[in-house]
Structure 1
Amino acid sequence: MIEFEPKDGVRFIKDVRVPTADGVELSLDMHVPVEADGSQDWATTPRPLLMEYIPYRKDDSPPYSGYHNDFAQHGIIGARLDCRGSGASGGVTADEYSVQEQLDGAAAIEWLATQPWCTGKIGMIGASYGGFTAVQIAALAPEHLTTIIPIYFTDDRYTDDCHYRGGAMRCYYDIGAYGASMIGMNAMPPYPEYSGQDWARLWEEHIEQNAPYLLTWLANQTDGAYWRSGSIRDRYEEIRCSVFMIGGWRDGYPNPPLRTFEHLIVPKRLLMGPWNHTRPNAAIPGPRVDYVSEVLRWCDHWLKGEDNGVMEEPAVQVYMQSYDEPRADRTETRGYWRAEQDLPMGERIWSLATGGRLIDEAEDQEGVDCYRYNPTVGTCGGLWSGGVPYGLPTDQRPDEIHSLNYTTESLTEPVEILGRGQVTLNIRSTAPVMAFAARLSDVATDGTSALVCTGVLNATRRTSIEEPQPLTPGQTYEITIDLDATGWRFEAGQRIRLSVCSADFPNLWPTPYAGENDVLFSKDYPSRVTLPTVAVRDAEGRATPGDEIDFKPGDDAEPYREAPNEPVWQIVRDVMGRRTGLTTLQSNVSRVSDDMEVRNKRTLDLWVSEDDPANASAKGRHTRHIVRRDGEMVVDSICNLRSTVDAFHCTIDLNITVDDLPHAQRRWVQSFPRQLL
């Protein structure tokens, strides 16, 4: 354990070794409140503690930074714990959210509660991975876990995570971002100035024994026991502490916060903004808010025992979005903050009808609309948001050309929706495997189409996501597609549009068979969309209603950019090769200290054939440079995933150099039969 000199009422404590049941030690850093005059010994002054539990290498962040420092300045110990097999922690890791990882976290809480510098009141906080671990460990109900604040989390690792959606396999993200990124991150060295005599053992252990998570995900293409161990869906009652959930409508996880809020039986609060997968003070699109102030008010009540009125405030606080020009570089969203005591329950049904109409009441007319499966549709839908700092959707009309579209008349009065809608379709296909994607859009008077939310179902999962069944070509099936949750206000004069196709490229990996699909609608085969309507708030003309909740403002934001000659997000058309591609670029630098910085760079090249949807490929490269006064280390990982009609083929190469000389190399090669994907 290393103690840093105090700064602004906080002392930074490095590398507290936390024991686990099997003898492996985890590494924890703390920002601890101290008196300016040094009159109190931090090690014997009990404080409540708020812990983040993630594998993203705490030692790559400089001391006295992040919200852990903010917590300490407010009288709460801000702690960050490296998961087993990552960063400066011992042990090995071959997968995310393992049972062992969850047990480690629960044990850490109970150990921390017994330390003389802790009051025994412990909370957990984290975004994405840290939100996942918070709800997973809360479901184990450790005695001293008092509250959790999960941000951008899931309750179901199969239906609502970055690997699968609606029984279809996600595409760009695991290769271009998280999945392939963790291969290199888990092979990076700890730092000798912190890990001391354990430095060499820890690094060798991580290099030689850690394994790519991605291979396990590809081997588990249907729901089942593997995905259940890290999911709290259907066992919400096992959470016994209070919960403050934070989510974003443009985040990749808009559904779990609403579903979890609905089922929890403990004190709870829900905050949903318009945000992507970036913390709410810095997220795009805005308005951004100072969410740390909201977290501290919650913790003052639950960790310090203050009666500050926070539990008398509305439990549901959501941003109701409205139409904006759909530009990928926009930083704000029109709308208003709405307050409710609970999630409202209401619905309104529109039926599909001939002539591309979406109508309030079903007609007697029978209709059948047909479209050809184009695996490149979806490029205007944005990028699934799990960490890439861009990806907002653009005008939907280029995608709508290759879709079936059903549109209402101009609305005579506003319509507001809050929650998850459903699309019921009667379909048939010429292919044995086919996905059906639904897009809900807000259409302006000039025809511009702004994406509200989407949903997808691999129709082989129409009755079960555990035991898929192929489609019989030409047979009619009724399927239900769950739309993503949203909060949206359609203004008077706008139109509501439902679009149906069979692709969401580059967010979903294409199903392998070419085909043509029918959508049927009649009294015998009703196809419809059901939206979760709520009471409409009054407003003047086309102005948005006034805010019903006030927040301290967050930070200013700018669209993400690299150098002028380095575009970060491109859709590419290979005209002669009849292929459509995606390229992405992302980089950052973390200045850890005067003696060290860490440079990260990610690139992705993804292609799909317009004529042969089985022919798709993705290559992600993730390079990390650790630059120190005493030398330079490079950890370079490359992941290639390609598909044929009956299998996925994955090659992974990991190369580590020290001062430009080869140091370590590992490789993995594996093929996975497609399970009706």
Structure 2
Amino acid sequence: MRIATELPRTPTVLEHVWIPMGDGTRLAATIWLPEDAYEHPVPVLLEYLPYRRGDWTAPRDAQRHPWYAGHGYASVRVDMRGSGDSEGVMLDEYHPQEQADAVEVIAWLAAQPWSTGNVGMFGISWGGFNALQVAAERPPALKAIVTVCSTDDRYADDVHYYGGALLGIDMSAWAATMFAFQARPPAPWRVGDAWKQVWDERLAALEPFSHIWMAHQERDDYWKHGSVCEDYQSIDAAVLAVGGWADPYRNTVLRLVEGLAAPCRGIIGPWSHQYPDIERTPGPTIGFLQETLRWWDHWLKGAETGVMDDPLLRVYQQDSVRPATQYAVREGTWVGLDSWPSPEVSEMAWNLRTDTLTLAAGTDGHAVVDTPQHNGVDAGRWFPFGNPSDLPPDQRSEDGRSTLFDTPPLDKDVNILGNPRLRLRLRSHTARANIMVRLCDVAPDGSSTLITRGALNLAKRNGMDRSDDLAPGEWVNAEVELTAIAWNVPAGHRIRVALSTTYWPWLWPHGGHTALTVDPDHSELVVGHLAPEALLRKDITFEVPEQAAPLGVTPGPPEGSRPEREVRYDPETDTWVLTVDPNYGGHRIYPDGLVYRESALETYTISGNDPLTAEARSTWTVGLRRDDWDVLIETDSRITATATHFRLTSHITVHLDGDEYFVREFDSRIERTSV
């Protein structure tokens, strides 16, 4: 990492700026500018988030916004309505109000005296999502966006559902995370005396988002809103789409470079859920700010930077590795492709009967898939954050609980690129069932490294917008699309297809025990194979990462250590407990004197091989203290289920200056329509 000590233009910062909305609500912004921007106006870059620019994202903001200002841009970080220091309430993620506000913000930015009127928008995760969503609204001033680790399909690729199954691990955990965020107050030293009124309005409107998300179990109009895949033609701003092979949102990059009519380029590296210049594993990092500067300079300043001469898609073809929960660097090769789908990627297929070996086939040639409820405890984190325990460990334990189909040792390398697909002929013993597919790289010593995976709630086999129960005992055809990946499986290794009916806590189990029978004769694995010649070009390079000077946040004292991820089994009660500390940053002290404390713990429990014992729980403790102002927020959120309904309970207690200030309980029952 290189710290930029000298920049072409000297940045200055407007710490707290109010941006007025048409309904009178004010949104809070920090604006970094070249100090001569009033004399020499500049284009504007917008990052628009609910994650509190004054504390939570402040260290990350300091790395990039001043850097952009020093390269001739007004770089703006806005707290969304109902978050951080902004007024109003946040009703849901990606609510129409969020997009309408962004359109107003862009118009305001374009009209400022230090602005040329050209605006770009960028962000990772939520900010990447709404950059796409706002681009689809076509605000006249928005000329280009950079979207990182985002999705164009809110139902298919986010924290709610996976293959049409309820994503138990993050449906609960992310709703609980946002519940804790929604309850936090604005900062009195920035907002002034009105801070308490703004906070009271925020607390009065508080409701866990999971109540909304779980009421929409099929891909209905709720999920279509904000999913730009519904109409790619609605986007005319230029799109740079970026993803990481260790991040779950990587499908989006391939879909965007294929589907958008607007100018588009894609980059997929080995990264986790982070900007590609941030030194969180796996690496290698790239000079991402410089890469985006080329994009902005071309589309917002009209400079000839060569970005449109770059390949349509630059991907990092990863080498095979032994299983580990963290890699400092993933070895591999950057490859440039001029189209997607690419003629350099051909299909390879393996029939599960004739081209693989299995110990699961019975005398009738069929294979039964019937796995224990705790299968999935070695899945790793849904969106790896670059922490030591995020990635899946050796899959041999999970493989032992699954039904396996192995290729013979490969006689040549297979360079998997794209979305593998498993076409299955199967029958179910029950009306509802899930199927989980893992693709593994099995070394000669037997170690099993997860390549990628995919799931299908078989009630959604005919479409994610509907629910069709299975007729027990009746054969059906189903196709499971696995998450996109680039992976070299070397000669001498085997490719393993591992099937399971359970994957806790990723897939919330249906209400009863189920088993599937697979017909291997009519089932096949299909993967894209990148031509070996593409790996020899080695013509894709990036600069060394560069950032602005760090903010100067110091770590606060830890409250004791605990594992980031721990699996416990109690044989007496036949109970499996997975605990996860998401480790978003812990305690820290900011240069303005704010002492910030944060502790979160996710707990996933299942007992007695009984799907109805599944419980997901998430607790948060957040402390904010500065001078004589002291806020403590404690939340506890749980999801359980019967055969017919989910039960969602949440509790929040807020203390202000040592006194109990706000307490509320939430208890909701939601019918299980298809999950």
Q: Secondary structure in 1 aligned to 2:394?
A: coil
> 1:367-417 CA deviation, whole Å, 9 max, x = no partner?
201132322112223221165734211111111112111111111111112
What does residue range 408-427 of structure 1 map to in structure 2 within 5 Å? 408-427=407-426
Within a 5 Å distance, the mapping from 1:83-162 to structure 2 comes to: 83-162=80-159
Change (3 A) 1:562 1:441: farther
Indicate which of 195, 198, 201 corresponds to 2:194: 198
Distance in 2 between residues matched to 1:357 and 1:239, nearest whole Å: 47
CA contact (8 A) 1:180 1:620 kept: yes
Query: 2:48 aligned with 1:53, yes or no?
Result: yes
Paired residues of 2:220 and 2:465 also in contact (CA < 8 A): yes
Aligned to 2:551: none
Distance (whole Å) between structure 2 residues aligned to residue 70 and residue 588 of structure 1: 26
C-alpha distance in structure 2 between counterparts of 1:81 and 1:422, whole Å: 41
Give the 5 Å matches for 1:204-219.
Answer: 204-219=200-215
What is the number of equivalent residue pairs in this alignment? 647
Q: 1:308 aligns with which of 302, 305, 319?
A: 305
- Equivalent positions of 1:32-431 (< 5 A) are 32-34=33-35, 40=36, 42-43=37-38, 45-60=40-55, 62=58, 65-176=62-173, 178-281=174-277, 282-343=279-340, 344-345=342-343, 346-353=346-353, 357=357, 367-385=365-383, 387=385, 389=387, 390-431=389-430
Structure 1 unaligned segments of length 5 or more: list them.
1-5, 35-39, 359-364, 540-544
Partner of 1:614: 612
Q: Which residue of 1 aligns with 2:462?
A: 463
Alpha-carbon distance in structure 1 between the residues aligned to 2:376 and 2:539: 35
Which piece of structure 1 moves more, 635-644 or 240-249?
A: 635-644
The 3-state SS of whatever aligns with 2:67 is helix
- Once the two structures are TM-superposed, the CA of residue 261 in structure 1 deviates from its matched residue by 1.3
Moved over 6 A (4+): 561-564
Corresponding residue for 2:554? none
SS at match of 1:614: strand
Measure the CA separation in 1 of the matches of 2:213 and 2:188. Answer: 33
Deviations 1:190-245 (A, max 9, x none): 11221124322211111112322121011111110111111101301110010101
Q: How far apart, CA to CA, are the structure 2 residues paired with 1:591 and 1:144?
A: 38
User: What pairs with 1:458-497 in structure 2 (closer than 5 Å)?
Assistant: 458-497=457-496
Letter of the structure 2 residue corresponding to residue 613 of structure 1: P
Return the offset for 1:555: 9.1
Secondary structure at the counterpart of residue 124 of structure 1: strand
SS at structure 1 position matched to 2:519:
strand
Partners of 1:174 and 1:386 in 2: CA distance: 16
Q: Could you state the TM-score of these two structures normalised by the residue count of structure 1?
A: 0.92
Residue of structure 1 in register with 2:15 after alignment: 14
Deviations 1:77-105 (A, max 9, x none): 11011111111111111210011111111
SS in 1 for 2:336: strand
C-alpha contact (below 8 Å) 1:10/1:69 kept by paired residues: yes
Displacement of 1:429 after TM fit?
1.6
Q: Deviation per CA, 1:624-645, whole angstroms, max 9, x where unpaired?
A: 1102122321111110111222
The 1:56/1:426 distance shift into structure 2, 3 A limit, reads: same
Q: What CA RMSD, in Å, does the superposition of the two structures yield over aligned residues?
A: 2.3
Per the TM alignment, residue 531 of structure 1 is displaced from its structure 2 partner at its CA by 0.7
- The separation in 1 between residues aligned to 2:109 and 2:163, in whole angstroms, is 40
- CA drift of 1:575 comes to 1.3
Q: Could you say what secondary structure the match of 1:353 adopts?
A: coil
Distance 1:226 1:121, change over 3 A: same
The question of 1:670 aligning with 2:668 is answered: yes
Residues in 2 aligned to 1:626 and 1:116: alpha-carbon distance in whole angstroms: 36
Q: Which amino acid aligns with 1:305?
A: G
Aligned to 1:438: 437
Please name the residue that 1:37 is paired with. Answer: none
Stretch moving more, 212-221 or 143-152: 212-221
Please tell me whether the aligned partners of residues 62 and 591 of structure 1 are also in contact (alpha carbons under 8 angstroms).
Answer: no
Find the partner of 1:552 among 507, 531, 543: 543
Query: How many Å apart are 1:472 and its aligned residue?
Result: 1.7
Deviates more, 1:386-395 or 1:398-407: 386-395
**Aligned residue in 2 for 1:361:** none
Cα 1:564–1:285 shift into 2, 3 Å: farther
Equivalent residue for 1:362? Answer: none
Change (3 A) 1:317 1:323: same
Say whether the 8 Å CA contact 2:218–2:674 is kept in structure 1.
no
Name the structure 1 match of 2:550. Answer: none
CA contact (8 A) 1:376 1:610 kept: no
> Which digits, 9 at most, give the CA deviation of each residue in 1:571-617, with x for residues without a partner?
11121111222101225234332421222111111101242112101
Deviates more, 1:17-26 or 1:562-571: 562-571
- Separation in 2, partners of 1:104, 1:355: 55
Structure 2: distance between partners of 1:388 and 1:92:
31
User: Are 1:86 and 1:186, in contact at CA under 8 Å, matched by a contact in 2?
Assistant: yes
Equivalent AA in structure 2 for residue 444 of structure 1: A
- How far residue 538 of structure 1 moved from its aligned partner, in angstroms, is 7.5
Which amino acid in the other structure matches residue 41 of structure 2? Answer: P
1:536-586 CA-partner distances (Å, limit 9, x unpaired):
2388xxxxx574311234499xxxx98884111011112111122210122
Distance (whole Å) between structure 1 residues aligned to residue 364 and residue 401 of structure 2 = 23
Q: 1:564 to 1:451 in 2, by over 3 A?
A: farther
- 1:604 maps to 602
Any conservation in 2 of the 1:356–1:405 contact (CA below 8 Å)? no
Q: Deviations over 1:12-57 (max 9, x none)?
A: 11232222232222111111111xxxxx4x4454111110011111
Question: Secondary structure at the residue paired with 1:179?
Answer: helix
Tell me how far apart the structure 1 counterparts of residues 34 and 355 of structure 2 sit (CA, whole Å): 67
Q: Which moved more, 1:277-286 or 1:433-442?
A: 277-286
- Asked if the contact 1:51–1:125 (Cα under 8 Å) also holds between the matched residues in 2, the reply is yes
SS of 1:593's equivalent? coil
**CA offset digits 1:633-658 (Å, max 9, x no partner):** 11111101112221111111111112
Q: What TM-score do you get using the length of structure 2 for normalisation?
A: 0.92
CA distance, structure 1, for counterparts of residue 314 and residue 354 of structure 2: 39
1:569 aligns with 2:565: yes
